[in-house]
Chain A
Amino acid sequence: DQQVKQNSPSLSVQEGRISILNCDYTNSMFDYFLWYKKYPAEGPTFLISISSIKDKNEDGRFTVFLNKSAKHLSLHIVPSQPGDSAVYFCAASPPMNRDDKIIFGKGTRLHILP
């Protein structure tokens, strides 16, 4: 049973435009959400995160939005740049006082077109 779902395997966006990557989750116990970026043959790199008590977190060109009632989050990248071409993983974490692990989605491959 997939608890974190990224339903778009790939996305192509023109350079300079906005990239929107979506993620849905099923477990209402998740307390914290993270986005990671991965280039081929490298490990995932932490990008941005959001606590369940917030609905938006912004860091430079990256903004994550959380809609708890819909169990949905999205990552906005604006403006998109060629170096943003990578696989993006959405991840969800249970509360810190529980000995449990972070669950990852299958990823969305983002292609930034020139």
Chain B
Amino acid sequence: DTGVSQDPRHKITKRGQNVTFRCDPISEHNRLYWYRQTLGQGPEFLTYFQNEAQLEKSRLLSDRFSAERPKGSFSTLEIQRTEQGDSAMYLCASSSERSYTIYFGEGSWLTVV
């Protein structure tokens, strides 16, 4: 399967701990996106990369959040000092530069207790 892959699928953490999610995009895609989804909401944009360059960050991405894509391939999203409000599904998606369509991974569920 060569779709978008996310790891871990589920993470339960105590408030105040740090968590990191990894995303492996579709191999020929140079754009990579992070979205967040909470109950009753659609996916909300967090940030996106074209190759290794981070081109846009949402206001939702507080300074506790950091995303990297060091070699233009996989990406990590780290949340420091987690809060209960960070509980959500974190979605990664990728696309080709020449396509409007973005393809999502299966998501990483975060529960902060």
Interface residues of A (CB under 8 A from B): 4, 6, 9, 31-32, 34, 36, 41-46, 49, 89, 91, 93, 96, 99-107
CA distance A104 to B4 in the complex (A): 19
Q: Which of chain A's residues have a CB closer than 8 A to the CB of B56?
A: 99-101
**Cβ-defined contact, A103 with B91, below 8 A:** no
Q: What per-residue 1/0 map shows which CB atoms of B38-70 lie under 8 Å from chain A?
A: 001111110010100001100000000000000
Which A residues are in CB contact (< 8 Å) with B55?
A: 99
Contact B109 A89 (CB under 8 A): no
Q: Complex formed: what's the CA distance from A59 to B109 in Å?
A: 32
Report the minimal beta-carbon distance from B57 to chain A, rounded to whole angstroms: 11
B12 within 8 A of A: no
Q: Which residues of chain B come closer than 8 Å to A89, judged between CB atoms?
A: 42-43
Tell me the chain B residues, 87-101 only, with Cβ under 8 Å from chain A.
91, 93, 98, 100-101
A52 to B12, CA, bound (A): 42
Cβ contacts under 8 Å, A42 to chain B: 106-107
Contact B45 A103 (CB under 8 A): yes
- Contact at A44–B104, with CB atoms within 8 Å? yes
Q: A34 near B33 (CB under 8 angstroms)?
A: no
Given contacts A32-B100, A43-B107, 11 further A-B contacts (CB under 8 A): A41-B109, A43-B106, A49-B100, A89-B42, A91-B42, A93-B100, A96-B100, A99-B50, A102-B33, A103-B45, A107-B42
Nearest chain A CB to B10's CB is how many angstroms away? 9
Q: Is B102 an interface residue (CB 8 A)?
A: yes
In the complex, 9 of the A-B residue pairs with CB atoms within 8 angstroms, ordered by the A residue number, are A41-B107, A43-B4, A43-B105, A46-B103, A96-B98, A99-B50, A101-B33, A104-B43, A104-B44
Q: How far is the CB of B45 from chain A (nearest CB, A)?
A: 4
Residues from chain A with Cβ under 8 Å of B104 in the complex:
36, 43-46
Max chain B C-beta neighbours (<10 A), residue from A4, A31, A32, A101:
A101
